[in-house]
Amino acid sequence: MVNKYLIKSLLRELLHLKSQILSISLIVGIGVGVYFGFSSTHQSLLESRDHFYQEYNFPHLFAHLHKTPNYLLSRIKDLPGVKDTEGRIEHDALLTLPKLKEPGVVHFVSLPNGKQPNYSKLFLLQGRLPSAHSNNEVVISESFFLAHNLKLGDKFSANINGSKKTFVIRGVGVTPEHIIALQPGSSFPDDLHFTIAWVNHSALAPLLNMSTSFNSLVIQLNQPHYQDSVKSQVEQMLERYGLLQLLSRDKQMSAVYVREELKQLDVQAKTIPIIFFLVAAFILNIVISRLIRSQRTQIATLKSLGIGNYSISTYYFCFSLVIVILGTILGFVIGSWIGRNMVMLYGYYYHFPILKYKFTYHQLFISLLFSVLTAFFGTTKALKNIFRLSPAEALKPPTPINYKNKWLEKSLFFQQLAIQLRMIVRGVITTPIRSLSVGLGLSFAVVLLILGLFWNDSLNALMFSQFGIRQKETGQITLSREMEAKVVKQIERFPGILMAEGYRSIPVKIKFNNQEEVSSIKGFPVNYALTDVINETFTPLKIPKDGFHISKNLAQKLSASKGDILEIELLEGRKRKLRIPILNIMDSFYENQILTSRSHLAKILQTDDLVNSILFRTYLDPSELYAKLKNLPAVTSITYKDAAVKKFQETSAKFLLVFAFIFSLFAAAIGFGITYNNLRVTLAERDWELSTMMILGFRQSEVFKTMAHEITLLLIVFVPVGWVLGFYNARWILMKLSMEEFPIPFSITSLTFLIATFVIVMSTLVSYFIIYNGLKKMDLVATLKSRG
Amino acid sequence: MQKPILEARNITKTYQMGEVTVHALKNLSIEFYPGEFVVLLGHSGSGKSTLLNILGGLDKATSGEVYFNHQLISEYNENQLTEYRRDSIGFIFQMYNLLPRLTALENVQLVAELANDPMKPEEALMILGMEHRADHFPSQLSGGEQQRISIARAIAKNSPLLFCDEPTGALDFKTGVLVLEALQRVNQEMGATTIVITHNSSIAELADRVIFLKDGQIQNIKVNKEKKSVRDISW
Ligand SMILES: Nc1ncnc2c1ncn2[C@@H]1O[C@H](COP(=O)(O)OP(=O)(O)O)[C@@H](O)[C@H]1O
Ligand SMILES: [Mg+2]
């Protein structure tokens, strides 16, 4: 029954309700935009990453070892399942840069002289590789290069094995292995103080006495599924040489970071839009129901003329369809804008050789499908009334709603309420579906806001736990070898150092319940003061004189609990095996560690009291401290907590602020859309009643309150529902997104709830304001006549 | 002679309908006295509702003045008009216009709360013989019952003016009689100036004065020396 008359009438109706329609389209548009934008960004990045991994030979396995002779390479290569191997030298050294006051760390990775390696090839963003015979040219990672505004040709010096050497920057690059340049053992990228430097093998090897050996190995497999068997063979073969770490590609730090970041996008693309589609369906239901109710006479007339239910329903469905399609188009515009910008933003971090924004027809199709489903679910409920309506019945006035609710009316509490309030409560409960739609819509807006805001709280909690209460040290000095504990006293005597405490960390492999984890045992002084050790319930723990605490996440990975006995194997020296009982579980947010006292560790290892790291507290400027310490030969690195944290907080704060702002806008659109549409419908349905009240002498504000406070009542009930839903939703999302390697504590402050509430209340007030002005324009006499 | 409580002077009301100008009221002047029961008679379209709406502050005259107790109502702004209606007028509508989400009693209570010196809502219901329907919602009441609740609502404010635009228009004959009887009784007991619009000339005999409107002008005013009661009228 598509004919000119109906199309015209459809258009007229749409035009008449244009502001309502736009508000619904906007909500659909945001839903589509978020889905389309996030999923196309995800897709674009995924493809670029895979392309990078593929083209630049990202290997399957990574091993870190002590110095190991080169001839082993060919033996590993001969193992079944292994396609190829490549040995490298990796080395961390203290870095000085004329522009950088405090010390940095440079992580050297050797290159075949003047050539690309076979695996983890360099993608050069600028400049060139070191020339074949140079022994001082390097390519460095971009984030450091940019953070210090460096130019090609700039120099830095590094303290390698006690001798200071100057390097010239000839290129800027990235490999699939270092998409995110992370200092080993650190959880935050610290662009100011950390860089990777690719250097000729011949430049690095003599300094480390490793001309015929390697300490880093990459393995390419014939088939990825050989991974486990190859891993155990390699472990066996290299055991004697001191295998520190053997990681598969999926555990490799940079790969984990990129993967988790992409997963985050994917999860958000698939969860957040649901809120918008649901809310749009709710509003459509309210608006279409109203439309059908007000047109029951026409519908009945059409029916008596022999036009079928389905044809009439199609008309209203088309009405919804126009709204959602308008929204979808808007969504494509919003989405591709979001996508383009996000891909660009990620481009700054990821430096994939090829990074182009693109979307797929699949994504377009899914967006459209969800919009149409929204229209479908938003309309069907209302369309049922068309089927129910018999022509004869429709010509009579609609059966009035029965406001008598026995249970409610009899309650003493209800009888005590002011009349206006009773009127409002009845209005809410006699249209339960509509009230629930509005209420849930408002809850969802709150949920959305909490999802946008809680990241800040959780990251603050992380910062606080890591750098606030628990770690009072200013920074840490890493020594290149184990030294007598008296070095701590020496450092503490340096003017400006307030306190210094040395600890000893040794790598271990833990076995429990057929689970294996690589971790480290840290031995701390018994009267340890710089860091609090706390248990899961935040009660301080003492450093055990002869026992072990293990961190919560490690315990979880091993499914071990207090009292269990772990089998551990020391990865250094004579590879001794020990059985240790778990004394306590510590709350440790991201470090997989086992804690004991240094004296206990020394006893087990049958050594003197040795340390390889020193924590310190100082009021010295990093540059001053560095000037004092840089000539100590055994110092590998000095890291300042503050600088890393500040930098991280700055970047994340900026990002989170934008994120929160956009979410607030989205939530406000929902809050406004749902309250505005509901009020418009109420205004249309009750115009007669409202004008009666005004004629009887009620002031406009009094009349307005009787309708608006139905929404206020729903706000009072459903905003707290939104708090609860938001709380659990945020916790769920955090759980889903949190990396095993880097769990973020879940935290929401009351300020977040307050802001969420504020935004929703404000968006509601805006629709109150618009509707209130609409009420002003109401022509009392005309309105009365229209029903008289 | 008594002073008028409500007075319209040289009221003209025109509606612009495209090219055509409709003269709903033409230079009409009329006075109403305290406590009198006035019936406005006239054919459909003669301007009765327009006049009542202007007197009631719902509509503005194109020209002319309206005085209530010597106050120039016609110059009032929206807020002042609202206060005027709130304090001084009880309205009764053809379609009763009870608020659907309130019971009979609550409908009366709500409006009574507006007044400075209201009647007890239960008492107002009693006067109309509707106390047994106090807890019913409008949807549970017949048209006649609804109209009597609506009268109770109008009188509960104890306001000096009572305006009724075709109060029996939607009712059957017998119910209409009951409603009119109630109106007349209320007028006698409460003494509010009551203006009733109708196009049923039989009602005219109940009134102190009957004003005939035709084409927006007063055609005739008839003063009933002896008012009949509803029962005495031959319908
Ligand atoms: N809002 C309006 N627009 C145009 N004309 C109107 C309007 N209201 C009333 N009229 C006209 O004014 C005249 C008087 O109307 P009304 O006072 O309602 O008559 P009555 O109540 O006596 O039936 C009629 O001709 C009517 O068509
Ligand atoms: Mg009329």
Q: What pLDDT sits at residue A486?
A: 85
Number of domains in chain A: 3
- Compute the distance between CA of residue B141 and CA of residue B34 in angstroms, rounded to an integer: 33
Q: At which residue do the structure tokens 């790291």 appear?
A: A613
CA angle B188, B189, B194 (to 5 degrees): 50
Give this complex's ipTM: 0.94
Q: Over chain B, what is the mean pLDDT?
A: 91
Q: How does pLDDT run across B154-211, given as a tens digit for each residue?
A: 999 999 999 999 998 888 888 888 888 888 888 998 899 999 998 777 777 888 999 9
- Mean pLDDT in residue range B122-127: 92
A203 phi, psi to nearest 5 deg: -85, -30
Joined together, the tokens standing for residue A542 give 């003492």
Put simply, the chain B residues between 113 and 172 with a CB less than 8 A from any chain A CB are 113-114, 135, 137-140, 153
- Compute the distance between CA of residue A19 and CA of residue A25 in angstroms, rounded to an integer: 10
Q: Is B94 on the interface with A (CB under 8 A)?
A: yes
- Given A256, A273, A301, which residue is the final one in a domain? A256
Confirm whether A353 is domain-assigned: yes
Secondary structure in 3-state letters for A154-171: CEEEEEECCEEEEEEEEE
List the one residue out of A173, A118, A165, A177 whose CA is nearest residue A144.
Answer: A173
Which range is least confidently modeled, A405-414, A432-441, A556-565, B174-183? A405-414
CB-count exposure of residue B158 (10 Å: 0-12, 13-18, 19+): middle
Residue A16 CB: number of other CB atoms within 10 A?
Answer: 10
- Mean pLDDT in residue range B72-78: 94
In this model, does residue B11 exceed pLDDT 60?
yes
Q: Is B80 on the interface with A (CB under 8 A)?
A: no
- Compute the distance between CA of residue A456 and CA of residue A477 in angstroms, rounded to an integer: 30
Q: What pLDDT sits at residue A244?
A: 80
- Compute the distance between CA of residue A27 and CA of residue A659 in angstroms, rounded to an integer: 18
Q: How far is the CA of B166 from the centre of ligand 2 (A)?
A: 7
List the one residue out of A272, A273, A275, A293 whose CA is nearest residue A381.
Answer: A293
Domain residues for the domain of A764 are 8-39+259-462+648-787
Please judge whether B102 and A693 are an interchain contact, meaning their C-beta atoms are less than 8 angstroms apart: no
In this model, does residue A105 exceed pLDDT 50?
yes
Q: What pLDDT sits at residue B33?
A: 95
Q: Is A685 on the interface with B (CB under 8 A)?
A: no
Are both A125 and A249 inside the same structural domain?
Answer: yes
Please judge whether B83 and A787 are an interchain contact, meaning their C-beta atoms are less than 8 angstroms apart: no
Q: To 10 degrees, the CA torsion angle through A571, A575, A576, A577?
A: 70
Please judge whether A400 and B138 are an interchain contact, meaning their C-beta atoms are less than 8 angstroms apart: yes
Task: Find the CB nearest B59 among A419, A694, A781.
Answer: A781
Q: At which residue do the structure tokens 């040290």 appear?
A: A473
Mode of pairing for the β-strands spanning A163-174 and A155-160: antiparallel
Chain A nearest-CA distance from B17, in A, is 15
Joined together, the tokens standing for residue A758 give 């504020």
The alpha-carbon radius of gyration of chain B (Å, integer) is 17
Q: How does pLDDT run across A356-373, given as a tens digit for each residue?
A: 898 999 999 999 999 999
- Compute the distance between CA of residue A710 and CA of residue A84 in angstroms, rounded to an integer: 71
Chain A residue numbers with beta carbons less than 8 Å from the beta carbon of B118 are none
Number of domains in chain B: 1
A78 phi, psi to nearest 5 deg: -80, -10
In this model, does residue B235 exceed pLDDT 60?
no
Chain B nearest-CA distance from A401, in A, is 8
Chain B nearest-CA distance from A277, in A, is 32
In this model, does residue A637 exceed pLDDT 90?
no
| pTM of structure | 0.80
Mode of pairing for the β-strands spanning B71-72 and A593-597: unpaired
In this model, does residue A788 exceed pLDDT 50?
no
Chain B nearest-CA distance from A427, in A, is 7
How many Cβ pairs closer than 8 A exist between chain A and B?
75
List the one residue out of A216, A221, A210 whose CA is nearest residue A246.
Answer: A216
- Compute the distance between CA of residue A120 and CA of residue A86 in angstroms, rounded to an integer: 10
List the one residue out of A628, A588, A316 whose CA is nearest residue A494.
Answer: A628
Q: Over chain A, what is the mean pLDDT?
A: 86
Q: How does pLDDT run across A313-360, given as a tens digit for each residue?
A: 998 999 999 999 999 999 999 999 999 988 988 887 777 888 889 899
Specify the ligand 1 atom closest to the Cα of B48. 22
Ion ligand 2 neighbours (CB, 5 A) are B 49
Q: How far is the CA of A696 from the centre of ligand 1 (A)?
A: 22
- Given A600, A618, A636, which residue is the final one in a domain? A618
Confirm whether B67 is domain-assigned: no
Q: How does pLDDT run across A649-665, given as a tens digit for each residue?
A: 666 677 777 788 888 99
Instruction: With H, G, I as helix, E, B as strand and everything else as coil, classify residue A282.
Output: helix
Confirm whether A472 is domain-assigned: no
Are both A778 and A751 inside the same structural domain?
Answer: yes
Write out residues with Cβ below 6 Å of ligand 1. Answer: B 15, 17, 22, 24, 42, 44-50
End-to-end C-alpha distance for chain A, whole angstroms: 34
In this model, does residue A468 exceed pLDDT 60?
no
Are both A245 and A267 inside the same structural domain?
Answer: no
Joined together, the tokens standing for residue A693 give 């009240």
- Compute the distance between CA of residue A445 and CA of residue A725 in angstroms, rounded to an integer: 11
Domain residues for the domain of B130 are 34-49+87-232
Are both A349 and A426 inside the same structural domain?
Answer: yes
A754 phi, psi to nearest 5 deg: -65, -45
Q: Considering only the C-alpha atoms of chain B, give the largest distance between any 2 of them, rounded to a whole number of Å.
A: 54
In this model, does residue A405 exceed pLDDT 80?
no
Q: Among all ligands shown, which has an atom nearest to the Cα of B216? A: 1
Which chain A residue's Cα is nearest to B167? A788
Confirm whether B15 is domain-assigned: no
Put simply, the chain A residues between 405 and 434 with a CB less than 8 A from any chain B CB are 409, 419-420, 422-423, 426-427, 430
Specify the ligand 1 atom closest to the Cα of B43. 22
Q: What pLDDT sits at residue B224?
A: 87
Are both A208 and A325 inside the same structural domain?
Answer: no
List the one residue out of B202, B200, B199, B205 whose CA is nearest residue B222.
Answer: B205
Confirm whether B4 is domain-assigned: no
Which range is least confidently modeled, A572-581, B158-167, B218-227? A572-581
Instruction: With H, G, I as helix, E, B as strand and everything else as coil, classify residue A102.
Output: strand
Q: What pLDDT sits at residue A397?
A: 66
> Per this entry, what is the length of chain A?
788
Confirm whether A65 is domain-assigned: yes
Inter-residue contact A67 to A77 (CB < 8 Å): no
> CB-based contacts of A713: which residues, under 8 Å, 6+ apart?
A424, A425, A428
In this model, does residue A467 exceed pLDDT 60?
no
The alpha-carbon radius of gyration of chain A (Å, integer) is 34
> Which of B12, B19, B50 best tests ligand 1's pocket when mutated (most atoms within 8 Å of CB)?
B50
CATH number, residue B197: 3.40.50.300
Amino acid A449 reads L
Are both A90 and A124 inside the same structural domain?
Answer: yes
Please judge whether A423 and B56 are an interchain contact, meaning their C-beta atoms are less than 8 angstroms apart: no
- Given A571, A601, A618, which residue is the final one in a domain? A618
Please judge whether B139 and A400 are an interchain contact, meaning their C-beta atoms are less than 8 angstroms apart: yes
Are both A402 and A313 inside the same structural domain?
Answer: yes
Q: How does pLDDT run across A284-310, given as a tens digit for each residue?
A: 999 999 898 888 888 888 888 888 888
Task: Find the CB nearest A692 among B97, B114, B135.
Answer: B97
Which residue has better confidence, B221 or A634? B221
Q: What pLDDT sits at residue A469?
A: 47
Inter-residue contact A93 to A636 (CB < 8 Å): yes
Joined together, the tokens standing for residue A767 give 């629709």
In this model, does residue A709 exceed pLDDT 50?
yes
Mode of pairing for the β-strands spanning B63-68 and B6-17: antiparallel
Confirm whether B64 is domain-assigned: no
List the one residue out of A767, A677, A665 whose CA is nearest residue A438.
Answer: A677
Which chain B residue's Cα is nearest to A788? B95
